[in-house]
Amino acid sequence: MIAVRLREAMERFRRRTGCRITYKQLSEKTGISESTLQSVAARRDYNTTLDTVDRIATALDCPLDLLLEQISEPSPRAAVSEVLEPQPMTGVSQTKKAHGPQY
């Protein structure tokens, strides 16, 4: 998954320029609605367009490698193999398992 690190980019803009930018100001600069900007900032799984990312990066003068973050997710195959992998028996010694029960 790729997440847009909007809050961090807005903070870097503030540190670099000395001016705090609000969602309203960013909306005016980009033409993106405030509610969309707030969703992009708040939800890591928000599915936005490349055009939106480009407008944000341009308005904040922010390189894409600082605006975007690739978040690794476990693959579905790995999750299934973890569930299906046999679990070791507990409470039974290796000798008893190898030679059967002792009477």
* 3 and 39 Cβ atoms separated by less than 8 Å: no
Domain membership of residue 29 (yes or no) is yes
Domain membership of residue 79 (yes or no) is no
Q: What pLDDT, on the 0 to 100 scale, is given for residue 72?
A: 86
Domain membership of residue 101 (yes or no) is no
Domain membership of residue 66 (yes or no) is yes
Q: What pLDDT, on the 0 to 100 scale, is given for residue 35?
A: 97
| CATH number of the domain where residue 52 is located | 1.10.260.40
Domain membership of residue 36 (yes or no) is yes
Q: Using one digit for the tens of pLDDT, what is the confidence trace for 17-49?
A: 999 999 999 999 999 999 999 999 999 889 999
Q: Using one digit for the tens of pLDDT, what is the confidence trace for 68-91?
A: 999 887 666 665 556 666 666 666
Domains of the chain: total: 1
Domain membership of residue 103 (yes or no) is no
Nearest-CA neighbor of 1 among 39, 42, 46, 64?
Answer: 46
Domain membership of residue 96 (yes or no) is no
Parent domain of 35: 2-70
